[in-house]
Chain A
Amino acid sequence: MKDLQIPKIYSIKKTDKKLLKDWFYLMTIGRAIDNKAPNYLKQAIGWSYHAPYAGHDGIQLATGYFFEKNKDHMFLYYRDMLTAMACGITAEEIILNGISKATDPSSAGRHMSNHFAKPEWNIHSTSSSTGNHTLHAVGVARAIKYYGEKAVAISGQGESSVSEGYVYEAFNGADKEQLPVIFVIQDNGYGISVPKKDQTANRKVANNFSGFKNTRIIHCNGKDVFDSMNAMAEAKKYAMEESKPVILQANCVRMHSHSNSDDHLLYRNQAERNYVQEYDPLAKFRRMLVRYKRFTEEELQEIEANAKTELKAAHKAAMGAPDPKPESIHDFVFPEPIVSEKYPEGLHNEEGEKKKLITGLNETLKAEFSHNPDTFIWGQDMANKDKGGIFNVSKGLQQEFGEKRVFNAPIAEDFIVGTANGMSRYNDKIRVVVEGAEFADYFWPAMEQYVDTSHDYWRSNGKFSPNITIRLASGGYIGGGMYHSQNIEGSLAAIPGVRIVYPSFADDAAGLLRTSIRSRGLTMFMEPKALYQDPKAATVIPDDFEVPFGKARIRKEGSDLTILTYGNTTHLSLEAAGKLEEEGKSVEVVDLRSLIPLDEETILKSIEKTNKVLIVHEDKVFGGFGGELSAIITEKAFNLLDAPVKRVGSPFTPVGFNRILERAILPNTERIMAAAKELIEF
């Protein structure tokens, strides 16, 4: 969109003196902290990461000035210290974050210094990955629009962040959905030491997006307070009134090195270092206040003295604040899930008509969308007439609940997950379900957001829980080859902060889905797609069934051997156990249902009875989840074992497409039987 005229609302001559005083005070105290921060590191107190903001003063002051707490949503990046202060975060709180104290409002010392947040005001906890939060800003802007609030989401970021693919995904999505979000690009010409020309051909990086239909692009001088104020005023007015995105590129200078681990003497010559100092925005603002006789030199000195006094007191208070306790590390890894009164063990004795696994999922989704009007679902291939999800799991949902709650996403997996994270930041009632990718195999582009979302609850010290269920059609036995058959739970399980469930029967799928959607937190819901329509996975499903996390289910009792399994291989294990039963061998089949959290109690109890364990899963043996199970058993039940723990799974290869290759790779009943016999006879 062509740049339109920016009204000059703020100027040195017209702006109210009280406001000018507030701004000068903030800029002065902010700069004093910016200059003081490296001393904390030199004295070994902390603040080992500090990205100085000096040179970005105008745009940061303006961005914070236009933030309305508890209404707008702010996503700061690591250089946004003055923005944070202009939003209302105090000098003391900035230092608490800098030196990682337990009372740091951002993370209680859990996140890196210079990552400012105050989730209770909607100043959100953000990642260190540059521009990662653009997707969160888009997600929360989607909620702002859906709930009809007059507010904006604001994302602060450097100009190099536009090189990231997910930033493109965010800009594209915001443009497509016409969302009230402002991307404030603070352009200081460098990504650490990398000059802008090595990032993109266009110096005015925002203009790379000039083809977007609904996005307004505004350029301003981020070193100038008034130009920044006018640009930001216009950006907010436009985003709110038109409900459309704005990319605001503010030209800044970076007066110092990127951070205290960088040395700009290595790549900037003396002339450049001089002129960036000459273009110091604070010095310019001060000169103008005097030149235009808005303040006398004495008045400014008094303000500077007051800032110094506040900083001194803030420093003293922060130094005396408590440190985080080592035993607190286990707090806020997962939020507490809902507690099932009726089905505490996730078992039932319901009788009646059996339903397929796909029906169980579909009916549970519909029931949960009726139960909670703040439930949403999106994904690739989600809703187009009779198509509802790649396998039609969500069929009929859009017709019943409307296209604002059930909708297609662009083919951008990171966007699908990242905007789920963002939307759930709007309030704690919202529950988001996403089809993370068409198939589990295509989930990898979303790993960036998956990992980041896994951090959120812990990183924010329990202040923000992303309440998301990521559904993924997973596994093989469909002749799909290596892009439609992979199991990825082994890799995912290595990342703390996410529950992983993997049902194998219709009732458990329905019960676990209900628990996932109703509970706070992030749950990875793996769906064995080969079982969607398979009669062997069909069961009776109580309408209100719930399966708590971390509750395994003994699908067949036995005394000679325990098989631990989940997903597709539960059925293969049951078949094997049935055949072994005919040979007089008694095999217990434990369907884990939840991998994280894991039902260690049921596992150990079963081993106590059988003294032998076979782990069966479809994923690779090497690096698969079975390795973790095996290690836990060896560590906790070595004395109970009469044989080594054995594993059956795929070899260390991708899954082949030709059925001959697939059969040679994926586990089958015969291989399970052979391993089981070997163990029983050990």
Chain B
Amino acid sequence: MSKTVIIYSFHTQKSKKVAEKIIEAFGKSQITAVNAEELTTEDFEKNDNFILSAPTWFDGELPNYWDEFVPDLEDMDLKGKTFAVFGLGDQKGYPENFCDAIGILVEILEDCGAKIIGKIPAEGYTFESSRAQRDDIFVGLPLDQENQGRLTNDRIKNWVSQLKKEMK
């Protein structure tokens, strides 16, 4: 298994915190952190396994650092590369677009030929709609620090062990 890259914004508060938990669960030596705000196409080209942080902003948008990278991302050939996406959302405050950013990013990655891992059953969450949900699964790991913060550690632990299996 080649080294995994985790991409998140170093300037965020909550996303950074959960990213660090993922790094810890993954094993620091096996993962490299890249600042999403300084992302280059090279970061994608030279690595094969990725964990991406995609928090949902406003009423269902990618944060600027992803949105501004999307035009480059869309032109990439990601065949043979593996991606797992997690993201923060708010089920109560924004139930109409809970963790939409995960879904938006996954759709783009799939269009580029990437393999998506880390899908989980859509259970234990209460919301109205989400672009991250397809039938009864989420295409990534939704985390809700606002309403289900106490579940975050377990969710990360389970997800990371699932990723490790899927990355083999």
Give me the interface of A with B, judged by CB distance under 8 Å: 11-13, 187, 202-204, 207, 219, 221, 224, 251, 253, 278-279, 284, 287-288, 291-292
Contacts and interface: CB of A to CB of B under 8 A. Distances in A.
Interface string B58-87: 111100100110011001000000000000
Contacts of A207: 96
A203 B96 contact: yes
Contacts of B71: 11-13, 288, 292
Closest 10 A/B residue pairs (Cβ)? A12-B71, A251-B58, A251-B59, A203-B59, A13-B71, A221-B61, A204-B96, A288-B68, A203-B96, A204-B59
A204 to B, nearest CB: 6
Contacts of B72: 292
Interface string B139-156: 000000000000000000
A284 B68 contact: yes
Contact of A251 (B61, B67, B68, B96): B61
Contact of A284 (B57, B58, B64): B64
Interface in B38-72: 57-61, 64, 67-68, 71-72
B153 to A, nearest CB: 24
A162 B36 CA distance: 37
Q: Main secondary structure on chain B at its contact with chain A?
A: mixed
Contacts of B57: 279
B68 to A, nearest CB: 6
Nearest to A220: B61
B10 interface: no
A163 B94 CA distance: 20
A509 B151 CA distance: 77
Contacts of A221: 58, 61, 67
Contacts of B68: 284, 287-288, 291
Contacts of A278: 64
Contacts of A279: 57, 64
A202 B96 contact: yes
Interface string B104-131: 0000000000000000000000000000
A207 B59 CA distance: 12
A291 B70 CA distance: 12
Contacts of A11: 71
A224 B96 contact: no
B97 to A, nearest CB: 8
A205 to B, nearest CB: 10
A434 B68 CA distance: 52
Nearest to B94: A203
Given A203-B59, A292-B71, 10 more contacts: A12-B71, A203-B97, A204-B59, A219-B60, A221-B58, A224-B67, A253-B58, A284-B68, A288-B68, A291-B68
A229 to B, nearest CB: 14
Contacts of A202: 96
B129 to A, nearest CB: 10
A158 to B, nearest CB: 15
A291 B67 CA distance: 12
Nearest to A196: B59
A295 to B, nearest CB: 15
A202 to B, nearest CB: 7
A12 B96 CA distance: 29
A202 B75 CA distance: 36
Contacts of A219: 59-60
Nearest to A13: B71
A12 B72 CA distance: 10
Contacts of B96: 202-204, 207
A12 B73 CA distance: 13
A284 B68 CA distance: 8
Contacts of A204: 59, 96-97
A255 to B, nearest CB: 14
A670 to B, nearest CB: 68
Contacts of B67: 221, 224, 284
A327 B111 CA distance: 67
Contacts of B75: 13
B8 to A, nearest CB: 16
A292 B67 CA distance: 13
Contacts of A13: 71, 75
Nearest to A197: B93
A278 B65 CA distance: 11
A207 B94 CA distance: 14
Contacts of A203: 59, 94, 96-97
A292 B68 CA distance: 10
A221 B60 CA distance: 9
A253 B58 CA distance: 9
Contacts of A253: 58
Contacts of B58: 221, 251, 253
B35 to A, nearest CB: 15
Contacts of A187: 59
A219 B59 CA distance: 10
A55 to B, nearest CB: 11
B63 to A, nearest CB: 9
A602 B35 CA distance: 85
Contacts of B64: 278-279, 284
Nearest to B11: A278
A12 B68 CA distance: 9
A11 B71 CA distance: 8
A187 B59 CA distance: 10
A119 B137 CA distance: 54
Nearest to A202: B96
18 contacts: A11-B71, A13-B71, A203-B59, A203-B94, A204-B97, A219-B59, A221-B58, A251-B58, A251-B59, A251-B61, A253-B58, A278-B64, A279-B57, A284-B64, A284-B68, A288-B68, A291-B68, A292-B72
Give the most central of B58, B75, B97: most A CB within 10 Å.
B58
